[in-house]
């Protein structure tokens, strides 16, 4: 067992969410999907503690758990046939239902797999995110990528602060395990985008391919605020395929052709907007045929179509978010107008760019006071408020941890505040 050094200095890890541009659902069956990172990220702040506990603090989803390191070290993830079975080993811990449940289970799985009994020091990991939870923008993958990166960084396994190809492979591997705890049999596309960033062509079982020549794409993402479950949508498509295998397989093949066409468009030239618009419409139609649309997604499609813009659902559908391509020549007034119309119907809009950076690790350097360091390095993304009165005395940086707030960065144009 390798001894993990005590955390001595704070560090921050961040990872983006994703939009699937083409190929969701089909990717589960080995077809290709094209996805890109969105300019909304999850951030993990890791700080030392004076005691021998590990605190998992997730204010966005009301989780604040303190684990004895020995308690986590007793788990035996290698004896499980699937990561989601970690639940059966967490018998002494009461975990409430809700979004916090999968986060705690994932953390327990990754901690025991990566740190295990080697960890002798305490630390706090606090995760905040700009990504709406459960809306198809990969909040879960961004969470799993920051978690796996932070824990791998603690074990000393990352050679270049997550920046080398080898580091990223390792991060992606463990983030996928985390996704398995939460989702059972995910395709792996979400964690690949959160790890590598940019645009990816992804086919299950193969290395993802970066679409290098693609420029950032302007999109409008519209949140229906209709809760959906990826698990349920994937199971519905599976059931439909069992009833009508040939029909469904030909739809999945057509979606694959759309992804292939999009991949060539992205690789060869600056994507031509009218061709992209055509395949956005075609892809949405096929997904609707598979039964994963929703009246609110259809309404978004109608509103944007009336303004000459093409939309499709993104992610698992059944609610969640829609993606609208913003034509290169569209004025900001035109985009604002369509966003306003969508907001008048109760939807939430974000204008963002697709194709930004993947996971990053930022470490404090030298003996600089932590607030100066955070102030200098991260002002674009975070704010720190004064210490919380409920501060945990064992936390070396309790004020910072409790005041860790994320601000929309300068690259994000938020047309409406994301509703959590
Ligand atoms: N801000 C956050 N803090 C901690 N955990 C988070 C946060 N956001 C998301 N998560 C984790 O991700 C889970 C949500 O995953 P879910 O798959 O439902 O949503 P999604 O990833 O946004 O959607 P999709 O998979 O369709 O893109 C939560 O239950 C939690 O485990
Ligand atoms: C619906 C799906 O294709 C995308 C969910 O973001 C499921 C998956 O790829 O795991």
pLDDT band at 365 (very low <50, low <70, confident <90, very high): low
Convert the pLDDT of each residue in 174-225 to its tens digit: 999 999 998 888 889 999 999 999 999 999 888 888 886 667 788 999 999 9
- Say yes or no to pLDDT of 50 above 60: yes
Quick one: which atom of ligand 2 is closest to the CA of 234?
A: 1
Quick one: which atom of ligand 1 is closest to the CA of 183?
A: 17
ipTM here: 0.95
State both tokens at 175: 């983030």
- Give the residue, out of 187, 202, 286, with the most ligand 2 atoms within 8 A of its beta carbon, to mutate for a pocket test: 187
At 401 the pLDDT is 80
Query: How far, in Å, is the centroid of ligand 2 from the Cα of 99?
Result: 18
Q: Which of 27-41, 154-168, 374-388 has the highest mean pLDDT?
A: 27-41
State both tokens at 256: 């694959």
Angstrom distance (rounded) from CA 146 to CA 279: 33
pLDDT band at 97 (very low <50, low <70, confident <90, very high): confident
At 345 the pLDDT is 95
Give the CA angle between residues 308, 311, 314 to the nearest 5°. Answer: 165
Q: Annotated active-site positions, please?
A: 140, 190
pLDDT band at 413 (very low <50, low <70, confident <90, very high): very low
Does the CB atom of residue 234 touch ligand 2 within 6 A?
Answer: yes
At 210 the pLDDT is 82
Of 273, 138, 252, the closest CA to residue 195 belongs to 138
Of 147, 254, 255, the closest CA to residue 194 belongs to 147
Within 269-363, residue ranges assigned H as helices are 273-289, 295-306, 332-344
> Strand, helix or coil at 82?
coil
At 269 the pLDDT is 62
- What does residue 255 show for φ and ψ, rounded to 5 degrees? -65, -40
How does the average pLDDT of the chain come out, rounded? 86
In this prediction, what percent of the chain has a pLDDT beyond 70? 87
Higher-confidence residue: 150 or 420? 150
- Say yes or no to pLDDT of 131 above 70: yes
Query: How far, in Å, is the centroid of ligand 1 from the Cα of 134?
Result: 5
Convert the pLDDT of each residue in 273-307 to its tens digit: 788 999 999 999 999 999 999 999 999 999 999 99
Q: How many CB atoms lie within 10 A of CB 291?
A: 14
- Say yes or no to pLDDT of 96 above 60: yes
Quick one: which atom of ligand 2 is closest to the CA of 189?
A: 9
- Give the residue, out of 18, 175, 190, 284, with the most ligand 2 atoms within 8 A of its beta carbon, to mutate for a pocket test: 190
Q: What mean pLDDT do residues 253-270 have?
A: 87
Residue nearest to atom 15 of ligand 1 (CA): 140
Residue nearest to atom 4 of ligand 1 (CA): 58
- Say yes or no to pLDDT of 59 above 60: yes
> Strand, helix or coil at 143?
helix
At 405 the pLDDT is 77
- Say yes or no to pLDDT of 415 above 50: no
336 beta partners: none
- Give the residue, out of 18, 188, 205, 230, with the most ligand 2 atoms within 8 A of its beta carbon, to mutate for a pocket test: 230
Does the CB atom of residue 179 touch ligand 2 within 6 A?
Answer: no
């Amino acid at each position: 067992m390798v001894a993990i050094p005590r955390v001595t200095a704070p560090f921050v890890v961040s990872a983006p969410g994703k939009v699937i541009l083409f190929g969701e659902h089909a990717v589960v069956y080995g077809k290709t999907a094209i996805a890109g990172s969105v300019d909304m990220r999850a951030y993990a702040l890791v700080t030392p503690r004076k005691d021998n506990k590990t605190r998992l603090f997730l204010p966005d989803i009301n989780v604040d758990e303190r684990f004895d390191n020995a308690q986590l070290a007793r788990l035996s993830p290698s004896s499980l046939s699937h990561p989601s079975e970690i639940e059966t080993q967490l018998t002494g811990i009461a975990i409430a239902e809700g979004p916090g449940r999968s986060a705690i289970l994932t953390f327990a799985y990754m901690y025991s797999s990566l740190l295990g009994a080697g960890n002798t020091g305490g630390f706090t990991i606090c995760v905040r995110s700009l990504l709406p939870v459960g809306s198809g923008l990969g909040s879960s993958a961004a969470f799993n990528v920051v978690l796996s990166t932070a824990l791998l960084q603690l074990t000393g396994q990352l050679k270049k602060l997550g920046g080398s190809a080898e580091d990223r492979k390792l991060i992606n591997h463990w983030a996928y395990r985390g996704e398995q705890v939460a989702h059972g049999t995910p395709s792996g596309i979400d964690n690949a985008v959160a790890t590598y960033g940019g645009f990816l062509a992804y086919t299950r079982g193969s290395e993802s391919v970066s679409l290098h020549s693609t420029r950032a794409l302007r999109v409008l993402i519209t949140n229906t605020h209709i809760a959906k479950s990826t698990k349920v949508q994937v199971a519905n498509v599976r059931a439909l395929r069992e009833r009508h295998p040939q029909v469904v397989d030909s739809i999945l093949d057509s979606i694959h052709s759309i992804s292939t066409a999009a991949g060539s468009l992205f690789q060869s030239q600056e994507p031509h907007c009218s061709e992209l618009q055509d395949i956005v419409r075609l892809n949405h139609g096929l997904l609707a045929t598979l039964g994963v649309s929703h009246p609110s997604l259809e309404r978004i499609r109608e509103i944007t179509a009336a303004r000459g813009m093409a939309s499709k659902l993104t992610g698992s559908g059944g609610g969640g978010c829609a993606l609208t391509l913003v034509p290169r020549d569209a004025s900001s007034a035109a985009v604002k107008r369509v966003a306003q119309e969508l907001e008048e119907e109760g939807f939430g809009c974000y204008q963002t760019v697709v194709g930004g950076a993947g996971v990053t690790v930022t470490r404090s350097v030298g003996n600089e006071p932590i607030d100066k360091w955070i102030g200098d390095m991260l002002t674009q993304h975070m704010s720190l408020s004064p210490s919380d009165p409920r501060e945990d005395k064992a936390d070396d940086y309790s004020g910072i941890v409790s005041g860790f707030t994320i601000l929309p960065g300068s690259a994000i144009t938020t047309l409406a505040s994301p509703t959590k």
